[in-house]
Amino acid sequence: MPDPAGKSRNLTRTIVNDLGKAIVTEQLYKDDFPFEAELCERYGASRTIIREAVKMLTAKGLLIARKKKGTLVQPESEWSLLDPDVLRWMLERDFSIDLLIDFTDIRLAIEPRAAALAAQYASGPQRKAMSVAMERMFNADRGEEDALEADIAFHVAVLKASNNRFLRQFCDLTTATLRFSIRRTNEYKGVARASAADHKVVMDAILHGEPTKASREMFDLIYGALELLLAAGGHPARAER
């Protein structure tokens, strides 16, 4: 049986993705955002669907409605950079190592704290999720599983195990970024595996209830990736702490 509501949601999502990417890749500028009627014709969509898509892009900071001027494209300084969609669109435009460096700096501020909290508050199922992710990483080292997906699964499991409602909000953002940064850092290291042994040191500290060690080991793990990105970008090294 047809699902009109589902079809509308899919079309809205398609429009959001197309227009969002066009804005972030600078195919659309401040004063040339299409009129509503033009978008309706382009996508074969109702005004309701177009308005919902514009509303979603506005919430992401990409658009703004001005009286007598219509809908305008916002400058990058106004974008919601922590929105996973916005970040994904930014990463899909011309490669920017500086963008990956900036996000890795954010990870240094977030994930070590998440690891420390996980060492204190992770539940049984959350500990199991980390162990499963770690098993996947070792499988990936043997070429039996996707190294990227295993690596992402581990970092997401740690964020969730922090049981901090704000830190857990970074799961989607971390996933979106790691899909690009892990591939790059592995290229710079000359390997295509998940570095399971390095991650296991973090997990062991968490499972043994050692928050200080868990935080330090997670910091060192991420800082190693930052060093690779800084060197590849021709930037000087940064103070560790």
- Give me the domain span that covers residue 48: 4-76
Same domain membership, residue 140 and residue 33: no
- Determine what percent of the chain is predicted with pLDDT higher than 70: 93
Q: Residue 22's pLDDT band (boundaries 50, 70, 90)?
A: very high
Within this chain, do residues 129 and 33 fall inside the same structural domain, yes or no?
no
Q: How far apart are CA 114 and CA 116, in angstroms?
A: 5
Averaged pLDDT for residues 208-220: 97
Number of domains within the chain: 2
Q: CATH number for the domain including 224?
A: 1.20.120.530
Q: What would the two tokens of residue 198 be?
A: 């390095």
pLDDT of 124 reads 97
CB 221 within 8 A of CB 176: no
**CB 108 within 8 Å of CB 226:** yes
- Are residues 34 and 64 both part of a single domain? yes
Task: Write the DSSP symbol of residue 82.
Answer: T
pLDDT in tens, 130-145: 999 999 999 998 889 9
**Do the beta carbons of residue 87 and residue 79 sit within 8 Å?**
no
- Cross-strand partners of 66: 70
**Residue 64: which region, alpha, beta or left (left: phi > 0; alpha: psi -120 to 50)?**
beta
Tokens 């997670």 identify what position?
Answer: 218
2, pLDDT greater than 70 = no
Beta-ladder partners of 72:
64
Q: Does 101 lie in the same domain as 204?
A: yes
Domain boundary among 76, 106, 131: 76
Question: Residues 130, 161: contact at Cβ < 8 Å?
Answer: yes
Quote the tokens at residue 92: 């899909």
**Across residues 94-104, what is the average pLDDT?**
83
Is residue 241 in a domain? no
Q: What is the pLDDT of residues 159-197, one digit of tens each?
A: 999 999 999 999 988 888 888 887 777 777 666 565 899
Range picked from 8-22, 61-75, 117-131, 193-207 for highest mean pLDDT? 117-131
Is the per-residue pLDDT at 94 higher than 80?
no
**Which of 76, 105, 127 lies at the terminal end of a domain, its last residue?**
76
